[in-house]
Amino acid sequence: MVVSGAMLRAFRSRSISHRLASSYRSLTTLVLAEHEGGSVKASSISAVEAAKSLGQENSVSLLLAGSGPSLKEAAAHAASCHPLVSEVLVADSDKFANPLAEPLAKLVHVVQQKGGYSHIIASSGSFGKNILPRAAALLDVSPITDVTEISESNLFVRPIYAGNALCTVRYTGSYPCILSIRATSFPVTPISADSKSKPASIDQVDLSTFNEDEAVGKSRYIKLSSQESERPDLGSARVVITGGRALKSAENFKMIEKLAEKLGAAVGATRAAVDAGYVPNDLQVGQTGKIVAPELYMAFGVSGAIQHLAGIRDSKVIVAVNKDEDAPIFQVADYGLVGDLFEVIPELLEKLPEKK
């Protein structure tokens, strides 16, 4: 019998997939959660929602790290944030007072060695992107990033080429399978009063095997700079108002902020506007900024570069205002207006009622 190379490769692929499937008969998932102000961030709850798609009978543990009273408050919130969470693991130590990647990646490694999870998931924000690759290196596995759909426990969909194509990936490596997910692709259904379940147990992580010397890296915490604002968070806002370089100055960009205040919206900006110094870079929307999926996305003076469109594709309704009728943003917009934003925005400000 002659066996071709293609047949042999197919046989090996099926054998690997079979071994992987057998090791995943007991699905257990560790979700690395980000918290702030005593609450688990919505993006991390979306990571729990993503774990639901891995399969039935999936036991989910949610890992929180930090120190002080806010960590205890976050743990209490985590215990009832999603019915799928069966256990909250708390690593309370001054080592994790600041979210540095090296000690947190080492913590994931320690927890995985004890728990033997089949999957480790985090949101693909800056928090997850900073930690998961390091944790994957410590565990000697390859992570799968920016997952937008989970078909099976080892079959995933992720965007490539700035979102212009979707790639289906079958994971055939050893466990744990490490994933970062786009939070906007896994919206969380609000928990009704009737469906609320018993809060998950809260357990302390045994840090006796945590070697602090091994976790010390080349980075150190200096300070946290944040802007206090009553506007909703850009990543989870229902309405987002974005301005581009066509606004010409930081002073003119205040028109976008005034419009956002009237609509109760978050403010976003293109990379060109950020690079020009109109607004800080935490407001950047796009492939290298925030990925957003609001119910309403309004773009003023945004041309529609491919990197920007990659960050807004999941928006329910896109409204674009640009004086260039050939701007690429009009190809994806549900509603488009060819006009001068310096005339359109003042007219909107005049006719829109004040937010109550």
Is the pLDDT at 320 greater than 90? The verdict is yes
Mean pLDDT of 233-254: 94
Is the pLDDT at 12 greater than 60? The verdict is no
Is the pLDDT at 323 greater than 80? The verdict is yes
Q: Please state the residue numbers annotated as binding site for FAD.
A: 245, 270-271, 284-288, 301-308, 322
Show the tokens assigned to 8: 């042999």
Mean pLDDT of 309-322: 94
Which carries the bigger pLDDT value, residue 235 or residue 110?
A: 110
pLDDT for the residue 17: 40
Is the pLDDT at 1 greater than 60? The verdict is no
pLDDT for the residue 225: 73
Q: What is the pLDDT of residues 70-114, one digit of tens each?
A: 999 999 999 999 999 999 999 999 989 888 999 999 999 999 999
Q: Please state the residue numbers annotated as binding site.
A: 245, 270-271, 284-288, 301-308, 322
Mean pLDDT of 120-137: 94
Question: CA-CA distance, 229 to 22, in Å (whole number)?
Answer: 50
User: Looking at this protein, which amino acid is placed at residue 217?
Assistant: G
pLDDT level of residue 214 (50, 70, 90 thresholds): low
Burial of residue 215 (CB within 10 Å: 0-12, 13-18, 19+) is buried
Question: CA-CA distance, 303 to 329, in Å (whole number)?
Answer: 6
How many residues would you count in the chain? Answer: 356
Q: Hey, what's the torsion of the CAs at 96, 98, 100, 104, to 10 degrees? A: 20
Closest Cα to residue 122, out of 131, 110, 134? Answer: 131
Is the pLDDT at 295 greater than 70? The verdict is yes
Is the pLDDT at 5 greater than 60? The verdict is no
Q: Would residue 301 be called left, alpha or beta, if left means φ above 0 and alpha means ψ between -120 and 50 degrees?
A: left
Q: If you write DSSP's letter for every residue of 286-309 in order, what string do you get?
A: STTSB----SEEEEES----HHHH
